[in-house]
Amino acid sequence: MGQIKIIKPGLLTTVQDLGRYGYQQYGVTVSGVMDNVSARLANILVGNDEGEGLLEITMLGPEIEFLEAMVIAITGGDLFPILNNNAVAMGKSLLVKKGDKLAFKGVKNGCRSYIAFSGGIEVPIIMGSKSTFTRGNIGGYEGRALKAGDTLPIGNHKVSLSSLVGNEIYENLYEYKNNIELRILLGPQEHAFTEKGLQTFLTNEYSVTNECDRMGYRLQGEKIEHEDGGDIISDGIAMGAIQVPSHGNPIIMMADRQTTGGYTKIGNIITVDLPKVAQAKAGDKIAFKEVTIEEAHHWLKELEGKIDSLKQQCRTKQKEVIKTREFHIRVNGKPYQVMVEELKS
């Protein structure tokens, strides 16, 4: 089992997985990663299950020291990762050595990156998940964002490290832009809005305000007109639900959203576009486009096909390694760790 040490925590660095499901009836939010696709890809690249725990970092990345050799992958928004002061590739599995340090220089695009570690992060599973819900002090590492000096245990990798190195995403599934089109399904309370209000929503551009976090994104723009106010009897809220209170500006609900809410919901962002929202930041512009549920299903199937293809590529590469032996030697008094692999001819 390996370890990593947090030298600097960054703006907001938390342990997350795909979420805490089955407890919303008790008022426990799902939490989990904001960008589901990037997190899954990172885990696939390092040979983990897609839902394994990893780090989600926001805007200003952490500085991490590796206390053991391991394989990592960084996906999502490009926060300019550097390893020992040298730029490293996004979307590719990388071998890091004991004593190496990973840091981030600043945002190039998007706003959230994901770091997966071969073997996953060994934190307690709370209600079926390793995800951190900071407002409730639940899950992750002591229920909070990481701090300087924290040491996280990393699980044992399932296959040899060398068989994981070089896995790569050959196709960018998303481009993170400052002008974002989000495809939506109207409802469930579209009847609560006037025809003018619906047209306002679908034909105008909205700005992401500074009030944007893991709970939700408040947008600013043309006021959306209701038939008779924005309050309803509270009901459930899905990831990507778009609430419109009486003030007329939309709010997109995200991973740490409350389980129920009493504002009208004009629409819901389709699953394949949720990563675009997760990578949006203050000042970005958002426009909404109505699509059909059949189209949403088609695009989701297409996306899942691409993810499955990457998974198969990674598995094929890992199977090429038959046998691995590890040796510890000294050369001129310096210790070295040597791995010898028997490969298919």
> Which residue intervals of the chain are DSSP H helices?
36-45, 161-164, 195-203, 274-278, 293-319
**One domain, residues 19 and 154:** yes
CA distance 327 to 319: 22
Tell me the residue range of the domain where 90 lies: 2-175
The first and second tokens of residue 41, run together, are 């890809």
Indicate if 131 and 212 belong to the same structural domain: no
- Alpha-carbon span 137 to 28, nearest angstrom: 11
Query: Do 17 and 69 belong to one domain?
Result: yes
Residues 40-70 pLDDT 10s: 999 999 999 999 999 999 999 999 999 999 9
Residue-wise pLDDT for 286-321, tens only, equals 999 999 999 999 999 999 999 999 999 888 766 655
Distance between CA atoms of residues 41 and 91, nearest Å: 8
Contact criterion met (CB below 8 Å) for 140 and 49 = no
Q: pLDDT, tens digit, for every residue of 116-125?
A: 999 999 999 9
Shared domain check, 287 and 254: yes
- pLDDT band at residue 340 under the 50/70/90 scheme: low
Q: Residue for token digits 């700005």?
A: 207
Of the pLDDT bands very low, low, confident and very high (cuts 50, 70, 90), residue 325 is low
Q: Is the pLDDT of residue 333 over 80?
A: no
Do 264 and 151 have their domain in common? no
User: Is 342 contained in some domain?
Assistant: no
Closest C-alpha among 38, 41, 94 to residue 64: 94
Assess if residue 50 is contained within a domain: yes
Q: Is residue 61 part of a domain?
A: yes
| pLDDT above 70 (res 344) | no
Q: What is the pLDDT of residue 160?
A: 78
If asked whether residues 43 and 167 sit together in one domain, one would say yes
Predicted pLDDT at 326: 62
Question: Among residues of the chain, what percentage have pLDDT more than 90?
Answer: 84
Whole-model pTM?
0.90
What contacts 89, CB < 8 A, 6 or more positions away? 168
- At 161 the pLDDT is 82
241 and 271 belong to one structural domain: yes
Tens-place pLDDT, residues 135-194: 999 999 999 999 999 999 999 877 778 788 888 888 889 999 999 999 999 999 999 999
pLDDT for the residue 166: 84
pLDDT in tens, 251-276: 999 999 999 999 999 999 999 999 99
Does residue 144 sit in the same domain as residue 203? no
Residue scoring higher pLDDT (325 or 249):
249
Sole residue written with tokens 């998940």: 129
pLDDT (0 to 100) of residue 324:
56
**37, 42, 48, 53: CA torsion to nearest 10:** -80
Longest dimension (CA), the chain: 81
pLDDT value of residue 313: 87
Cβ contacts of residue 265 below 8 Å, gap of 6+? 187, 188, 189, 237, 241, 242, 243, 244
